[in-house]
Chain A
């Protein structure tokens, strides 16, 4: 898909400073996490359609089968529900599976096993069984694959008790969060974003974990909080630069995991700025944006100087065509525009925009 390769290749990311440490690509960071997990713990195994094929799950699983053997790194039949149940059953019996998907859309085929089984077993049997498994999938954008190959499903899963959901935004976090997810004793969904896979970053060598459930402040600012995860942070940081040129200082909060949600870091930032833009790679309705908005209204109401703004996908499926796609997906300008409207809210009480 030349146009798609072109799009991804054209993404401009800040070059990390080599004096700060070892530079690794996003894909290499994930690969390194998988290698370390497989080395560290014989109960870890990696499964998924194509984990051993030449494209190697965007390169993240490259070399794993050669190194760890076909029993621990294996291709699967096209049986998503069963394979999710197999992962759960193995996890319930002492293993730590990492079940990888090229597209989150295919995770929905396994919703019964993920939502109704894996995430419920520990509760249902009164804590007798744990289900330490990772479901990994890569969200796409700009690859012309449309409504059935581009979905961000984190919002659909956000309300499921027993699940954790991880959405890294940097190579450092992709490695550290994946290691945390693999070592966690609960089912954890890790949603990566295709557009981050060309990003390089400082990635420490060896084993380290980024804790689940704790966000991080990527940029401090006094005027408005931009909060989200994954690729939304990339856009949020770009938006913050646009805003800075106008004298608006945006704070960017990277949630790292959206479930459990780090409410403290959001509310703390809101206390400082009084304005919040919730950003997500998924639909605004009923998802991360909605949850953050609700949190601000429920627990941060006294700090709000302006309404909550959401920047995510409209209540519309992803279109396939290139032109419509460009309109459909939010960009940094749209986030900046939403933030600007909040900052100007006092001056224009009729409403944002």
Chain B
């Protein structure tokens, strides 16, 4: 039984957003999504080798939201994220080598091997922090928005959250405060319908998450989360509103994770969701769908895709080799940074 149907417009959904966008921009979005997909697949393929001793939460199937959203952000705009960090980290421009070093528990990982896969960070590009506690990053991002507002900085804060995060009281508290103070923040909700293996229907009454958010006095929109251009456009609108001092916005993007909550591979066979449901969503794979659109539009062809695949594969191979050659932390590292000077 398929519980959660794809309700978007598929390939037909791109046209109205693509009008007027330069080809280089559109190709960049495709490249970024494809790169994340290939990185995730390589992490998954090598995971059983046990060199990455860190719990992974693969973003395969949800690339469009990270990439579309980040395309609407500048380097000084900050992004906070949840445990599923790989997509937002890479889309925001996070360093691949530092990420893979972190996954390999190396001293030169982006968090010095103290964070692991759930706590990727690259402050240089505005990937400012993550929390592995559901909802944990939401008030912190709101506080970052308060700081930006107090310092009158031209900066927007975006926080990624999942459907289950809307069940945490702290999320409602944070939306309330952000609306109260008209803070420059965008709450970007990736609704993938499942929290670990618990479906939305066992956790919330039948309702639409964006309508719940709208009750906090902010614009809240529903978008097709497999459509990278929809994610870009919704974020751009929200960012403009925030930068104009008009306050927060909420975006609900319906997406589907093709893999298990954590670890390599899919776990649909355990019975918590129907394989047919995943297959239905795989037919609207955000990467393939956009690629097909670009081919149809004459912006991409098989040769260009091959070249792109080759370039990405090389970068990934290099980065893995670099991580595997990188040094492990030492005992002295453990004692550092418990307290700041």
Number of residues on chain B facing chain A (CB within 8 A): 39
A-contact 0/1 string along B154-185, CB 8 Å cutoff: 00000000000000011001101100100000
Q: Please tell me if B297 contacts chain A, counting CB pairs below 8 Å.
A: no
Distance from B35 Cβ to chain A, minimum over Cβ atoms (Å): 24
Chain A residues, Cβ within 8 Å of B174 = 79, 82, 85-86
Taking a contact as CB atoms under 8 Å apart, the answer to whether B176 and A77 are in contact is yes
CB of A85 within 8 A of CB of B111, answer: no
| CB-CB contacts below 8 Å: B116-154 with A | 119, 121, 123, 128-129, 131, 133, 136, 138-148, 150-151
State whether A85 touches B143 (Cβ < 8 A). yes
Q: Is the CB of A85 within 8 A of B170?
A: yes
- B339 near A77: Cβ-Cβ < 8 Å: no
Does B340 lie at the interface of the complex (its beta carbon under 8 Å from any beta carbon of A)?
yes
B135 shortest CB reach to chain A, Å: 8
Instruction: Give every chain B residue within 8 A of A87 (Cβ-Cβ).
Output: 143
Q: Quick check: B169 and A92 within 8 Å, CB to CB?
A: no
CA distance A94 to B150 in the complex (A): 10
8 A Cβ contacts from A139-172 to B: 161-162, 164
Determine whether A230 belongs to the interface, using a CB cutoff of 8 Å to chain B.
no
Closest to B155 in A: A93
* With A95-B150, A124-B119 as contacts: A112 and B339 at CB distance below 8 Å: no
- Across the interface, name the chain A residue whose C-beta is closest to B113: A126
Max chain A Cβ within 10 angstroms of own Cβ: one of B119, B123, B129, B141: B129
Q: Within 8 Å CB of A131, what residues of B?
A: 340
CB distance from A3 to the nearest CB of B (A): 35
Q: Which of A93-150 contact B (CB under 8 A)?
A: 93-95, 97, 112-113, 116-117, 121-132
B140 is contacted by which of A45, A92, A130, A132 (Cβ under 8 Å)?
A92
**Contact A122/B339 with A77-B176, A82-B173, A89-B147 known, Cβ cut-off 8 Å:** yes
B341 sits at the interface (CB 8 A): yes
- Asked whether A71 lies within 8 Å of B340 as measured between CB atoms, the reply is no
- Top-7 shortest CB links A-B: A89-B143, A85-B139, A126-B112, A82-B173, A79-B173, A127-B337, A89-B140
B residues touching A (Cβ–Cβ < 8 Å)?
Answer: 78, 111-112, 114-115, 119, 121, 123, 128-129, 131, 133, 136, 138-148, 150-151, 169-170, 173-174, 176-177, 180, 336-341
- Selected A-B contacts with CB under 8 Å, 23 pairs: A77-B180, A79-B173, A81-B170, A82-B173, A83-B139, A83-B173, A85-B170, A85-B174, A86-B177, A89-B146, A90-B146, A92-B128, A92-B140, A92-B144, A93-B144, A112-B133, A116-B136, A117-B140, A126-B337, A127-B337, A128-B111, A185-B340, A186-B339
